[in-house]
Amino acid sequence: MNKKNKLLREQYEKTLDKFNTTNKMSPFNLIDSEHINNLNNKLKNDNIQYDSEPVSCCSHCKSLYLITDDDDNDTCVSCHNSINEIETHKNIYEYLKLYGDDK
């Protein structure tokens, strides 16, 4: 694992945990298993942006896990916010400074 992208990786790992927990607590899968697989692959392939690069998050729940559809629209998987309601921060450090690491 590259040390440089450790922080962002940690955030993705937390999101994955949260998704798995959400599904475990619910009678049916609230989070599509496709997203869980996506996140698993992201972590496995280690192709996550470097911590020094800009990060985007949902402007509502601040989740870093966003999906982009074929028309280039970003949507938050965690809270299903309206399309393209995201904010971008200079890097993961700035993000963590603002929102902490429990999103």
Choose, by CB under 5 A, the member of 58, 64, 66, 92 that binds Zn ion: 58
The strand pair at 66-68 and 55-58 is best described as: unpaired
- 63 binds Zn ion, rule: CB under 5 A: yes
Candidate segments 20-28, 43-51, 58-66, 86-94, binder of Zn ion by CB under 5 A: 58-66
Alpha carbon 15 to chain centroid distance? 6
The strand pair at 55-58 and 86-89 is best described as: antiparallel
The pair of three-digit structure tokens given for residue 53, joined into one six-digit string: 């690069």
- Calpha distance 40→16 (Å, rounded): 8
Judged by CB, which is closer to Zn ion: 50, or 67? 67
Choose, by CB under 5 A, the member of 26, 40, 46, 79 that binds Zn ion: 79
Judged by CB, which is closer to Zn ion: 58, or 96? 58
Judged by CB, which is closer to Zn ion: 11, or 63? 63
Contact between residue 30 and residue 22 where contact means Cβ atoms under 8 Å apart: yes
* Closest distance of CB 93 from Zn ion, Å: 21
